[in-house]
Structure 1
Amino acid sequence: MTRIEFYVLPDADPKGRLLAACRLASKAWQHELPVFVRCQDERECGELDALLWSFRGERFIPHNLHDEDPMAPVVIGLDQPPAQPQAVLINLAQDLSGHLDRYSRVFEIVNQEPHQLARSRENFRVYRRQGYDPKRVEL
C-alpha cells in the first residue's frame, strides 16, 4: 500500500513549501527513486522548475516539466499519471492525486498558512477514509 507522509513546516512562508519539495526531491533522487512533483498550477510548475536549477549549487538535480520529458528523474507536472512505476509523489496541490495507486510514497508538504493548513487537514482525513495510514513528520 502507498505510504503517505505529511511534512509539516513551522511557518507560513509559501516559498518554504517549494524549498521543502526541492529537498525531498533531491533526497529521493539520491536514492534512485523516480519523483513526480504535483503542482497546483502552471505558475507553480515554473517556480519550482527555476528553483530546482539553483537549489543545490554544487549538485544538479535532473528534472524537467512533464510535457517536455515525463521520464526525467524528477518530473514537475499537474495531475498527469506518472510515466515511471512506483514513483514518489510530492504533492503541492490542494487536493489528492487521482493516481495514488501508481505511487509507492506520497509526501504532502504543509505550512502554517491557515487556508493551506485547513486543506491539508482535510486531505489527511480523506486519506484515512480511503484506508491509508498517513504519518506526520515535523520539519
Structure 2
Amino acid sequence: MTRIDFYVLKPGARGDRLDLTCRLVQRIHDQQQLRILLHCPEPRLARDLDRRLWTFRDDSFLPHGLVGETDPTLTPILISSDGEPANEQQVLINLGLEVPTFFARFARLCEPLDQDPTVLAAGRRRYACYREQGLPLASHQVG
C-alpha cells in the first residue's frame, strides 16, 4: 500500500512548490538513497524543475535527468512529463494537478503544495480521493 505525504508550504514561507520539491528530493536522496520519479505532466514544468535541480544548492549534486534523455538505470532521480518510466522507482513526487494513474506502483507518494489557489484546490481534491481509497495519509506544514 502506498504511503502518501502532503507537504504544504506555509503562507509567507520563502520559495515556491519547485523549491519545496528540490528540498524533498535532496532529503530523500541524501538520507534514504531511494530512486525518485518526479511526475510533471507539463513539459515546461519538467524543464523548469530540471534547471532548478541543477542550481538548487551550490554545495550539493542531485543526479537527475529527463526521461528519454538519460539512462534510467544509471540515474536515481528521473523527471517525466509523459507518465511512468519502464524501470522501477521507489518514490513518486507528483507535480501534476490530478492523481497519477500509476501511483499505486510506488511505495511512497509525495505531494508538494504551495499557497497557489489552483495548486491548493487540486491538492485538496487529491487528498479526498486518497482518503476515500483508505490509503495512509500524512500532512506536513513546511516553513
The answer to whether the superposition gives a TM-score over 0.5 is yes
Counterpart contact for 1:8–1:111, Cα < 8 Å = yes
- The amino acid of 2:10's aligned partner reads P
1:117 aligns with 2:131: no
Tell me the secondary structure at the aligned position of residue 46 of structure 1. helix
1:10 aligns with 2:10: yes
Q: 1:135 aligns with which of 133, 138, 142?
A: 138
Aligned to 2:55: 54
Counterpart contact for 1:39–1:77, Cα < 8 Å = yes
Tell me the secondary structure at the aligned position of residue 138 of structure 1. strand
Cα deviation for residue 12 of structure 1 reads: 7.8
Counterpart contact for 1:33–1:88, Cα < 8 Å = yes
Unmatched runs of 5 consecutive residues or more in structure 2: none
Counterpart contact for 2:39–2:79, Cα < 8 Å = yes
- The amino acid of 2:41's aligned partner reads Q
TM-score normalised by the chain length of structure 2 = 0.88
Q: 1:132 to 1:77 in 2, by over 3 A?
A: same
TM-score normalised by the chain length of structure 1 = 0.90
- C-alpha distance in 2 between matches for 1:27 and 1:5: 14
Cα deviation for residue 131 of structure 1 reads: 2.1
User: Percent identity between the aligned chains?
Assistant: 37
Cα deviation for residue 136 of structure 1 reads: 0.7
Cα deviation for residue 84 of structure 1 reads: 4.0
After TM superposition, the runs of 4+ consecutive aligned structure 1 residues lying more than 4 A away are: none
* CA RMSD between the two structures: 1.7
Tell me the secondary structure at the aligned position of residue 135 of structure 1. strand
Counterpart contact for 2:41–2:83, Cα < 8 Å = no
Deviations 1:65-116 (A, max 9, x none): 0111233111011252244435111111001111112111111011122121
Counterpart contact for 1:52–1:61, Cα < 8 Å = yes
